[in-house]
Amino acid sequence: MPELRLNLVTREWVIVEKNADIHPADFIEKNLLKKTPDHLGSCHFCAGNEDIIPDEIYRIQDENGWKVRVVRNKFSRLSGEGPHMRWGDKLQRAANGVGIHEIIIETPFHNLTTANLSSDQLKAVIETYKDRLMAIYGDPRVEYVVIFKNSGTSSGTSFEHSLTQMVGIPVMPLQIRDRIEAYMRYYDDNGGCLMCRMLEEELQSGARVLLNTDHFVSFVPYAALSPFHVWIFPKRHSGSIADLRNEEMWDLASALKVTMSKLYYGLENPDFNYAIRSGSPENAKSKFLHWYLSIVPRIGYTSGFEMASGMYVNPIQPEASAQYLRNIKLPEGHT
C-alpha cells in the first residue's frame, strides 16, 4: 500500500508509492549531455556580446574579465518605474505592476551549468545572490524577493546560458505567507525552529542525507513532492542569505556543486529548477524563519490529480532517491 506523507514545510500531502518495480534509473532521459560551444555569437549573455544588454547593474571580475554580470530583464512582466500603489473596491483588488527583475549571468561561458562551474565561480555567484538580495530589498516598493533558476526547456526557459533570476515583487504571495505562518505556528507551539528540528532528525536518521558539510546539509525531504527533489539547509539558524558569512559561501558553493553534480551524472543532465527561499535582511534574525535552497529536477509529470487535489504523487520513495544519488560516483574535480 502507498503511504501518505505530510511535508511540514510546504504543508502539502504526498502519496509516496512503494512500488518495487520502479527504479530511479527509469527516470533518466538519455537525450542530454550534448555538446554545446563555449561561446555563441547570438547569445545575449556570452562574453564578448555585452553590447546586446549594455545596461549592467553589477559585476564581479578578475584579471581575465567579468566572472558574473547582473543585468535588468528587458522582457520583465513587471515595470521598474512607477510608484507602489494599490486600489480596489467591493470584490476587486489591484496593485501597480511595479517590481525589479534582474538576471544574474553566472558565467561568461555558454556551455557550463551549475554542476561544472568551478567552486570559485559558484562562490562568486552566491556572493552576487547575497549582494543583489540586499540591494533589491533596499527598494521600498519591494515586499518579497524571489530567487530562482530555470535550466532546460521543461523548466520554463529557452535560454541555454546559465542564469539565475531575482524578482522583487510589490506584494507578498499567498504561498510564501502561508509558509511563514506555518513556521510561526510551529515556533509558538514548540519553542523552536521547524527547520532546525528537521535537520536534527535528518542527520540522526541519515536515510535521506546526501551530503553533510561544515555548514550545510543536502538531503531528499521526507515528503519529497517528486523524485530526486533535494533541499540544502544551512546548519546555522538564519532567516536570510543576507547574513551569509564568507566561509559559509565557500562551503555552500561546494555543497551546491556536489549536489548538482550528483544530479548531472546520476540523471544525465536533467532539466531542473532551483529556488532560494530566503527572507529579507531584517529577517536574518527571525527566530522562526530558516532560509534554504530547493532543487527540483524536471523528470516527472504532474496530472489533473495534482491540480485538482493539491496533493502530489511521488513514484519513488525519498529514501530510494537519496540512496541512488549517494551511490553516484563523481569524476575528479566534482567533489
Interface residues with Zn ion (CB under 5 A)? 40, 43, 45-46, 110, 161, 193, 195-196, 237, 290
Distance of closest approach, residue 87 Cβ to Zn ion, in angstroms:
38
Distance of closest approach, residue 104 Cβ to Zn ion, in angstroms:
14
Instruction: Identify which of residues 226 and 294 has a Cβ nearer to Zn ion in the complex.
Output: 294
Instruction: Identify which of residues 130 and 290 has a Cβ nearer to Zn ion in the complex.
Output: 290
Instruction: Identify which of residues 49 and 96 has a Cβ nearer to Zn ion in the complex.
Output: 49
Please state, in angstroms and rounded to a whole number, the distance separating the CA atoms of residues 238 and 38: 37
Please give the DSSP secondary-structure letter assigned to residue 207: T
Give the number of other Cβ atoms within 10 Å of residue 87's Cβ.
9
Instruction: Identify which of residues 16 and 195 has a Cβ nearer to Zn ion in the complex.
Output: 195
Amino acid at 80: G
Instruction: Identify which of residues 291 and 312 has a Cβ nearer to Zn ion in the complex.
Output: 291
Q: Burial, 157: exposed, middle or buried (Cβ in 10 Å; 0-12, 13-18, 19+)?
A: middle
Closest Cα partner for 115 from 328, 300, 324?
Answer: 328
Distance of closest approach, residue 285 Cβ to Zn ion, in angstroms:
12
| Residue 229 neighbours by CB under 8 Å, 6+ apart | 220, 221, 294, 295, 296, 297, 314, 318, 321
Distance of closest approach, residue 254 Cβ to Zn ion, in angstroms:
22
Please state, in angstroms and rounded to a whole number, the distance separating the CA atoms of residues 71 and 45: 10
Instruction: Identify which of residues 98 and 193 has a Cβ nearer to Zn ion in the complex.
Output: 193
Q: Where does the chain show beta strands of DSSP type E?
A: 3-7, 12-16, 56-62, 65-72, 86-89, 92-95, 100-105, 144-151, 163-169, 209-212, 216-219, 230-234, 272-277, 292-297, 312-314
Give the number of other Cβ atoms within 10 Å of residue 266's Cβ.
22
Q: Where does 21-162 show beta strands of DSSP type E?
A: 56-62, 65-72, 86-89, 92-95, 100-105, 144-151
Distance of closest approach, residue 171 Cβ to Zn ion, in angstroms:
26
Three-state DSSP at 272 gives strand
Distance of closest approach, residue 195 Cβ to Zn ion, in angstroms:
4
Distance of closest approach, residue 184 Cβ to Zn ion, in angstroms:
13
Instruction: Identify which of residues 45 and 264 has a Cβ nearer to Zn ion in the complex.
Output: 45
